[in-house]
Amino acid sequence: MKAAVINAPNGAVSIEERERPSPGHGEVLIRVRACGVCHGDLMLQLGQFPFARYPIVPGHEITGVIEEVGRDVDKLRKGDRIGLSALFSSCGRCAQCVEGDECLCSQMQFTGVTQDGGYQ
């Protein structure tokens, strides 16, 4: 599959061929149908997120169709249309998560910044 990748802060965006990922436990694989371009993507390219993980596939405004369902996913099915939050994951147990402020979780993962995003 083709992916737009930023390999380092202040680096160019390059198109790479990557293997198709498989969903893990509690995950789904999404066939991206659309992914917005956001100022955050430019900030990522310019190295303005100190917590970013490079190389990274940007893009956090994703919509698509579920292509494959991982283990223990019971509410989503292959073929379902889906849109995601920029918040990839959080711990679900800390005070911030319990209070509904998952975006402040110290274990938070951000789509297209710490986890590969939708430009693939």
| pLDDT tens by residue, 36-64 | 999 999 999 999 999 999 999 999 999 99
* 85 in Cβ contact with 61 (< 8 Å): no
Interatomic CA distance for residues 117 and 62, integer angstroms = 8
pTM of the model: 0.89
Q: Per the structure block, which two tokens stand in for 16? A: 């790479």
Fold of 2-110: Quinone Oxidoreductase; Chain A, domain 1 (3.90.180)
- pLDDT tier at 5, thresholds 50, 70, 90: very high
Domain residue extents for the chain: 2-110
Which residue from 10, 23, 30, 12 is spatially nearest to 81, judged by alpha carbons?
30
CB atoms within 10 A of CB 49: 17
